[in-house]
């Protein structure tokens, strides 16, 4: 049976309604915190264990607090950008182009580096220490996950949705 795209979209909304923008923001903040805090702690602890001079030999508890502060700033940005974003429904791209992915990674890298820079500079670390830790965080939080997803999509392409 054939139906127009509008009818299918209306049926989709009735069967599986999309959450409101406020609801998505309420979920985005805590999710961003959790998914940012754990790798940030791992980066800070690993850096402290391998090259203590980068973190001024901070204790594990101290770097956990730094990681929580960085994650909190990123979570706030995630919630605010979710509130300000336009609705994405059935028109969402299943496989955005390389330029769009690069733009997203660049913007998220700026947010990550900015949050890390703010927190670590306020802790009294030097510019070199802040830059080293910020680059490590950008690689672990932004570049590596994006590269893995792109490689997996090449290996297992996402099937196109019927028109």
Judge contact between 48 and 136, C-beta under 8 A.
no
pTM, whole model, 2 decimals?
Answer: 0.78
Range of the domain at 137: 18-86+95-155
Predicted pLDDT at 70: 97
Q: Which segments within 18-124 are labelled E, that is strand? A: none
pLDDT at 90 over 50: no
Query: pLDDT tens, 114-136?
Result: 999 999 999 999 999 999 999 99
Q: Encode 129-139: b = buried (16+ Cβ within 10 Å), e = exposed.
A: bbbbbbebbbe
* Cα(117)–Cα(124) distance, integer angstroms: 11
Please report whether residue 148 resides in a domain: yes
* Cα(112)–Cα(22) distance, integer angstroms: 23
Percent of the chain with pLDDT over 70: 82
pLDDT at 92 over 80: no
* Cα(146)–Cα(151) distance, integer angstroms: 9
Please report whether residue 60 resides in a domain: yes
Please report whether residue 1 resides in a domain: no
Predicted pLDDT at 38: 95
* Cα(104)–Cα(149) distance, integer angstroms: 14
Please report whether residue 9 resides in a domain: no
User: Into how many domains does the chain fold?
Assistant: 1
Q: CB under 8 Å to 120, separation ≥6 — which residues?
A: 66, 129, 130, 133, 134
Provide the token pair at 150: 């792109």
Task: Give mean pLDDT, residues 91-101.
Answer: 69
Identity of the highest mean pLDDT range in 3-12, 18-27, 135-144, 151-160: 135-144
CB atoms inside a 10 Å sphere around CB 13: 12
Average pLDDT over all residues of the chain: 85
Predicted pLDDT at 100: 84
* Cα(105)–Cα(110) distance, integer angstroms: 9
Task: Give mean pLDDT, residues 86-96.
Answer: 58
Please report whether residue 4 resides in a domain: no
Please report whether residue 160 resides in a domain: no
Query: For the chain, give me the number of helices (H) and strands (E)?
Result: 6, 0
Please report whether residue 115 resides in a domain: yes
Please report whether residue 10 resides in a domain: no
Query: pLDDT tens, 31-81?
Result: 999 999 999 999 999 999 999 999 998 999 999 999 999 999 999 999 999
């Amino acid at each position: 049976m054939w139906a127009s795209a509008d009818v299918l979209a209306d049926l989709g909304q009735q069967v599986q309604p999309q959450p409101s923008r406020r609801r998505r923001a309420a979920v985005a903040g805590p999710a961003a915190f959790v998914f940012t805090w754990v790798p940030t702690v791992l980066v800070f602890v690993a850096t402290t264990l391998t090259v203590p001079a980068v973190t001024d030999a901070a204790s594990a508890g101290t770097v956990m607090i730094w990681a929580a502060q960085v994650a909190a700033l990123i979570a706030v940005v995630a919630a605010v950008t979710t509130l300000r974003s336009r609705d994405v429904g059935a028109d969402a791209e299943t496989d955005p182009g390389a330029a769009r992915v690069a733009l997203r990674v660049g913007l998220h890298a700026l947010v990550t580096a900015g949050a890390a820079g703010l927190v670590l500079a306020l802790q009294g670390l030097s510019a070199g220490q802040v830059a080293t830790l910020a680059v490590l965080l950008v690689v672990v939080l932004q570049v590596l996950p994006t590269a893995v997803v792109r490689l997996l999509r090449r290996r297992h392409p996402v099937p196109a949705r019927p028109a």
